[in-house]
Amino acid sequence: GCVGVAWQATVMPLKVFPDDGTTAVSTVVEAMYYAVDNGAFILNLSIGAGYEASFTGPIVELWNQGGITVSAAGNDNQQFTDSQSTWSSPACNNGNSPLTDNMNIGVGSVDSQDRKASWSNYDASTNRNFVDLVAPGVNLRGAGVYYPSVSGFTSYFTNNSGTSFSAPLVSGLAALLKAQD
């Protein structure tokens, strides 16, 4: 029904959200450290929250080991500026000095005409390190959730939009680049 970008990549799925869809930031950060400690080279973070400095530690650790984190920029048509009050995590967790470090690839979304998706967050900061690139993110076909007793989860395949669908494309590209080196 669908295909990914890096067919030979090994995936380490880590479940951080229980069935109710809520979780603590500390649970996600713990999983990030677990992935780094167990050989992950690329972390895909298709999540978003208010700015939380605790995301920075595992991002820096992975970077120091030669890896990279890819983070969805978010879907609020929000601009990230030099003011921390505009930031979100993990897209803005670029290292210990977020305005100058760039240890995290922040990913925004574009539509089929290569225009910024109307809802995609974007970068208006001085150094433009928060949203590093964009990828398709509007009306993408992919795996759905089949859980027929819950309305809206009745198909194995579905169309979705969001930076959470753009970021995995970039993670797949990073895996292809890693395979060449």
pLDDT digit string (tens) for 27-78? 999 999 999 999 999 999 999 889 999 999 999 999 999 999 999 999 999 9
Q: Contact 113/69 with Cβ under 8 angstroms?
A: no
**In the predicted model, is pLDDT for residue 2 greater than 80?**
no
Q: Rounded to an integer, what distance in angstroms lies between the CA atom of residue 164 and that of residue 137?
A: 8
Residue 91 confidence class, pLDDT cut points 50, 70, 90: very high
Q: Rounded to an integer, what distance in angstroms lies between the CA atom of residue 113 and that of residue 154?
A: 30
Q: Give me the mean pLDDT over the 127-131 stretch.
A: 95
pLDDT digit string (tens) for 135-176? 999 999 988 888 899 888 888 988 999 999 999 999 999 999
Tokens for 77, please give them. Answer: 């048509």
Q: Order of strands across the sheet with 133-136?
A: 42-45, 68-72, 104-110, 133-136
Nearest alpha carbon to residue 111 among 72, 165, 69: 165
Residue 93 DSSP symbol: -
**pLDDT at residue 143 in the model:** 83
**pLDDT at residue 65 in the model:** 97
Percent of the chain past pLDDT 90, that is, above it, reads: 81
Q: pTM of this prediction?
A: 0.93
Give the chain's mean pLDDT. 94
Please state the three-class secondary structure of the chain as a single string. Answer: CCCCCCCCCCCCCCCCCCCCCCCCHHHHHHHHHHHHHCCCCEEEECCCEECCHHHHHHHHHHHHCCCEEEEECCCCCCEECCCHHHCEECCCCCCCCCCCCCCEEEEEEECCCCCECCCCCEECCCCCCCCCEEEECCCEEEECCECCCCCCCECCEEEECCHHHHHHHHHHHHHHHHHHC
User: Hunting for tokens 């995995």 — which residue is that?
Assistant: 168
Q: Rounded to an integer, what distance in angstroms lies between the CA atom of residue 32 and that of residue 43?
A: 8
Residue 1 confidence class, pLDDT cut points 50, 70, 90: low
